[in-house]
Chain A
């Protein structure tokens, strides 16, 4: 058998097994008969371990696997913003996670759209957030389709063209998500994490040995020949200097805690303290993120000359060049799963947001939310596929756009939950301005703007407008007491009166 046939068969077998595992996960759970809740939030019965696996798994998408190597190859040091924002984000999550968890539990809410609808007492506000959040998740889905395409095309040794490979990635994932739902994703996620950690660990040892005769020589050559890559602003006219790194990491670290998929993980937790414990030791995991970046630097020596979106291929060019076909297949499976699982979770979150907050508003669709949500999922996937063909981009670039847009929800959601005086009119005006500015800057090629992350520029204006309109605009007549509307970290609550007397 040719190399292409071996590697492609291994990938094919695993893809079939993946969908099979998804189906198996749903057996005895009502199968296709289960309602929207079973499909979208696993019937809210997923154990802490599965929820954790899903959350940790989102840190290892094809974005970190392939994208980090690609940007490491293109620019070098700037890609380390990923490590910075994830670590800082976990620290913020220590406070925000339990706060959102307690809020959702108290008022039986299932996501950020619900929270907004409850906070401002308007169902349609939730629908607006659902639509916006879905739009900003599209680049992230496109990212996964692109990643999957790269994998399929490369490990077929070019027999499958990139364009067909994108379509295969889309088809496999949509099929998987429709049949399996969140429970299936959690099952496959375990397999995925194992494979990703094993293959990354292996590559981290093997690549320097194979090409450079060891780490010493590899690092020595990097330091002497590629020093430009090792400090900011990195290689070439990147525009990604220190200030960009600082603004981007700061913005993303705040955004990641309200990212709809992160919140889905928070809400699935059994206790607030479980979330705090996760925030404590998940950051240590980020050490693994240095590996793909180093591999990207190694690729500079081995496969020079990749430019633009082609740098997504950097890691796999190395793999194909140095490993026997069956191992190429295994690494391919790891990378493919690291696209499929997160993409499935993103699509599910979109489906849930629409099922809860948008479709429920239309009387004709009530009772058919699951089918309607699945249609939304397929449409969202198809849109992302179209974007993949019409606006190809590097994986990291796509992730940045997603975060810059999602960040605009920060004042409305996070500030709104702790500060009563923020009015709906204020929050919405800010949101409109913020989203407008992000779109304008990104689509005119002005991101970064003067070395600053465009999302943070937009967020500053967003916040100013939100505060201005809240102060100067019409007052709200919402007569619910503060503790029905605002959220608090349970640890910051004053102790109950009874408990205090006992203590004394």
Chain B
């Protein structure tokens, strides 16, 4: 079974440890970007979507997208 190759970017592999690289872990940063990084841009009531103030719509969306982000990591881990 082929495993995730660490040969494509050998300079990024930790020296000597032979640790497997898992670039898919970057997906786990997505919730931080959505909830925290984007906050200054979405801290507003307008536009109101389906009666909900915009900040709530955004955070609700982030809550629904977090499982997707974690799933993408999981998929990356299981595809080898």
Binding site for B on A (CB under 8 A): 77, 80, 83-84, 87-88, 90-92, 94-95, 215-216, 219-220, 222-223, 227, 230-232, 242, 245-246, 249-250, 253, 276-277, 279-281, 283-284, 286-287, 290, 488, 491-495, 503
Contacts and interface: CB of A to CB of B under 8 A. Distances in A.
Given A232-B43, A494-B20, A503-B1, A280 B67 contact: yes
B28 A94 contact: yes
A84 B36 contact: yes
Given A95-B28, A219-B51, A277-B74, 5 more contacts: A91-B30, A223-B48, A223-B53, A245-B36, A491-B22
Contacts of B18: 494
B35 A84 contact: yes
A284 B67 contact: yes
Given A215-B51, A283-B70, A250 B25 contact: no
A494 B3 CA distance: 10
A230 B45 contact: yes
B51 A220 contact: yes
B55 A503 contact: no
B3 A503 contact: yes
A246 B39 contact: yes
15 contacts: A83-B35, A83-B63, A84-B35, A84-B62, A87-B35, A91-B28, A94-B28, A231-B53, A280-B67, A283-B31, A284-B63, A286-B66, A287-B64, A492-B20, A503-B1
Interface in B27-80: 28, 30-32, 35-36, 39-40, 43-45, 48, 51-53, 55-56, 59-60, 62-64, 66-67, 69-71, 73-74, 77
Contacts of B55: 77, 80, 230-232
Interface of B: 1-3, 17-20, 22, 25, 28, 30-32, 35-36, 39-40, 43-45, 48, 51-53, 55-56, 59-60, 62-64, 66-67, 69-71, 73-74, 77
Contact of B70 (A84, A91, A230): A91
B74 A283 contact: no
A245 B62 CA distance: 15
Q: 10 closest pairs, A vs B, by CB? A: A219-B51, A494-B18, A84-B35, A283-B66, A230-B53, A91-B28, A87-B66, A280-B70, A246-B36, A284-B67
B60 A495 contact: no
Contacts of A219: 51-52
Nearest to B27: A91
B21 to A, nearest CB: 9
A493 B47 CA distance: 48
Nearest to B36: A246
A227 B44 CA distance: 9
Given A90-B66, A283-B67, A503-B2, A276 B45 contact: no
B25 A284 contact: no
Contacts of A232: 39, 43, 55
Contacts of A494: 17-20
B60 to A, nearest CB: 7
A405 to B, nearest CB: 22
Contact of A290 (B17, B60, B70, B74): B60
Contacts of B69: 91
Contacts of B48: 223
Contacts of A90: 66, 70
A260 B39 CA distance: 30
Contact of B43 (A87, A242, A249, A287): A242
Contact of B36 (A216, A231, A249): A249
A468 to B, nearest CB: 25
Given A87-B66, A280-B74, A283-B66, A290 B2 contact: no
Nearest to B6: A494
A283 B73 contact: no
A242 B42 CA distance: 11
Nearest to A283: B66
B74 to A, nearest CB: 5
B70 A287 contact: no
A231 B55 CA distance: 7
